[in-house]
Amino acid sequence: MFLSVFDVFKIGIGPSSSHTMGPMIAAARFLAEIRRDDQPRPANAPAASISVSLHGSLAFTGVGHASGRAIVLGLNGYLPGTVDVDRMDAIVAETEASGIVHPAGHPPYRFRPQIDLVYDKQTRMLGHPNGMRFTAHDGDGSVLLKRDYYSTGGGFIVCESELKKASAAPAAANPAVPFPFESADQMLAMARETGLSIATMKMANEATKRGTSEVEAGLDRIWKTMSDCIDRGLERSGPLPGALKVRRRAAGLYRSLLEESGRNQSSPLQTSDWLSVYAMAVNEENAAGGRVVTAPTNGAAGVIPAVLKFCLQQYTGDDVASARIFLLTSAAIGGIIKHRASISGAEVGCQGEVGSASAMAAAGLCAVLGGTPEQVENAAEIALEHHLGMTCDPVGGLVQIPCIERNAFGAVKAVTAASLALRGNGVHMVSLDACVETMRQTGEDMSDRYKETSLGGLAVNVVEC
């Protein structure tokens, strides 16, 4: 099993990695399928129109998560990492007005979002809670090509055959990388045998796929995107998109903290205040559909940037090497969690999103502050353990309540977990692997009402105004 740091951390757009980025990427995959020469078609008929149906969690919360908007952008040939965020509204408006998508390298296809995009809440696709069905039709409406895709969290997309293959035979450890750990126990064993840090082992694995300088440049780009997102969130105010009209708070809180600092006022709460404002800044940007980094998802995108910024400000200064160690260590933990459980809120609840992010951030902070591999694993376990059972119940199907504040708490828990681990010797009762397995089992037992469907919890007990 090899999951690259650039799979865990993807540059994209908000508000959701599974419900926005995933459908957008799926649309791009379907366009590529349409253009394949080996696709069977009646008399080689060209595709004239496209229709899409969303199922499961995508159907229930897709409107609030901008899934339809993402599909329109994807069918116009755009990808989350490169689309011009300032042009998105215009692109969507053009398609809604014309009923036509114009992907580069393709003929135009008819796609009328109000008619050809269906939020099917009745039919559940069995492979995963986030199912999508794309269909291409000829000029007479006959089906030429049909593909099912599943958005498994963090911007990852699999088709039906890939999902079945993974279920039938989980991927074996990748022999092409020098440290092919699939679990935390394996990771620690390799660290003990070699005397290497988790970040060093992760870098060695990454370097087999791309040059070291390319990996370092990619890591720097990820941190810059995260940092820029914090800065944008600290500057912008006003209501967020959606019926709730939730107002941004990060900019006001930031100004208040700066004023207190200017008056040399100190408070025992300032550490959590700064962590909270950074995390909220990111997730307000995410809720507005801005440029973010999956970490490991969009719904949890604020935790890792907040803890990393706090780490650099409080401990290491603006140190590139520390940021790289933090991200590599975090990605190693995130890869284990995704491989052995899930990072999808629609699959295991928010324990798989903010819980995973908090574990990753705790591990990264512990590593930068000199923690041993055993202490790093302990930090990740502590953070994840205290998110077990957390539901995903977004009010109004929007990634706003309780998501924005929840990232602040995830960041605070991460710092607390790292601190506890650093004051220990790495020996502890509950292993990270056991905690991840517990999360997986808890997610299986959790009612679908609490897994990103907005059918239970806060989503039904908060009156939308």
The percentage of residues in the chain with a pLDDT greater than 70, rounded to a whole number, is: 94
Over residues 55-68, the pLDDT tens digits come to: 999 999 999 999 99
Over residues 176-233, the pLDDT tens digits come to: 899 999 999 999 999 999 999 999 999 999 999 999 999 999 999 999 999 999 999 9
- In three-state secondary structure terms, 461 is helix
Kindly state the average pLDDT of the residues 419-429.
Answer: 97
**What pLDDT sits at residue 325?**
98
Residue 39 has pLDDT above 70, yes or no: no
> Which has the closest alpha carbon to 353: 305, 400, 300?
300
**What pLDDT sits at residue 270?**
86
* Residue 175: band (very low, low, confident or very high) from pLDDT cuts 50, 70, 90: low
Query: CA triplet 446, 451, 457: central angle to 5 degrees?
Result: 85
**What pLDDT sits at residue 127?**
85
Kindly state the average pLDDT of the residues 301-306.
Answer: 98
Kindly state the average pLDDT of the residues 151-158.
Answer: 92
**What pLDDT sits at residue 126?**
83
**What pLDDT sits at residue 164?**
77
CB atoms within 10 A of CB 316: 16
404 or 462, higher pLDDT: 404
Domains of the chain by start residue, with CATH: 14-168 (3.30.1330.90), 184-461 (no CATH)
Q: Write the Ramachandran bin of 370: left for phi over 0, alpha for psi from -120 to 50, otherwise beta.
A: left
**What pLDDT sits at residue 28?**
95
Kindly state the average pLDDT of the residues 258-271.
Answer: 80
- In three-state secondary structure terms, 109 is strand
**What pLDDT sits at residue 161?**
84
**What pLDDT sits at residue 160?**
82
On average, the pLDDT of the chain sits at 93
Over residues 220-247, the pLDDT tens digits come to: 999 999 999 999 999 999 999 999 999 9
Residue 117 has pLDDT above 90, yes or no: yes
Name the CA radius of gyration of the chain, rounded: 22
- Put simply, whether the predicted model's pTM sits higher than 0.85 gets the answer yes
Residue 465 has pLDDT above 60, yes or no: no
Residues in a beta bridge with 159? 149
- Which runs of consecutive H residues, i.e. helices, occur in 243-397? 250-262, 270-287, 303-311, 320-340, 345-348, 354-368, 373-385
